[in-house]
Structure 1
Amino acid sequence: MTYSLFKIIHILGVVLLVGNVTITFIWKFHADTTRDPIVLAFAQRIVTWTDWVFTAGGAALVMIGGYGMTAVARIDPVATGWLLWSQIWFYAVGLIWLLVLVPLQVLQSRQARKFAVTGTIPESYWQLCGYWNLVGIASTVPFLYVLYLMIEKS
């Protein structure tokens, strides 16, 4: 493949990844404000689905495109400072997503399936939402820094 094709794949991945993590938070936040068990159960199901499709899919495209570009251009992704730091932050956020956010979403989804039927939202769901929101926002900020590094290449 050519450098340009890898670049298109990379940019598409960035758009899907950063766009999804941003809009998912906004969408879920507004669903949570309804406090409607049916709306929340639907939102939780869609958040989980879009995370796997767009966040994970976007991350895969970012890696395919990024490593493809470095291979074609014969650039060492570890010896180049901005590429090294971009990878460190990217993988750190990925670990937070896999080890913290995904398990929280699984717990929230399980609760949501139950309260969609019972109509009673447990307090533990709101605690999980607060933690998910906090960790989600905190882990989105490094993505913005990685975007800066990609654009500035410094």
Structure 2
Amino acid sequence: MAIKSQVLADFIAEWTKVQMPPTVVDHEYWTVYFDRSLMKKGVGTGLVFGSLLGVRMRYMVHLHFPSSNNLAEYEALINGLRIAIELGIRRLDVRGDSQLVVDQVMKESSCHDAKMATYYREVLQLEDKFDGLKLNHIPRRLNKAADA
């Protein structure tokens, strides 16, 4: 009698595993730090991606056109979002030291410059491609920690 009961329990346990839908695993948030960088021959943007598992990836994008600091910050942000999409990252915690760019994207300040408004609209289009997107301002001295 005890053996028959155990066989029945084992059958139910195995059958239940097959019949239950797979457990949905919440994707982790990757972190990306973005910043513009001045170089001897122009302006570039720097990006550092990091995952909870310790994976780190660094990217540098050289801008082949004259750019203000704020436009270069937007270029860094947009390129970071595009790279994340290409990598298949669906949840992203974006951190940058440009208070103006973060405030504009978070709708805490408005865009009065036509070029900045174009960049802003591009960010809005890209953010729809993520399941989760956070944008945070970090002071410049803290952003240097991403370089380490």
TM-score normalized by structure 1? 0.27
Bigger Rg, which one: 2
More helix by share: 1
Greater relative contact order (Cα 8 A, min sep 6): structure 1 or 2? 1
With normalisation by structure 2, the TM-score equals: 0.28
Give the number of the structure whose residues are more often strand, by fraction: 2
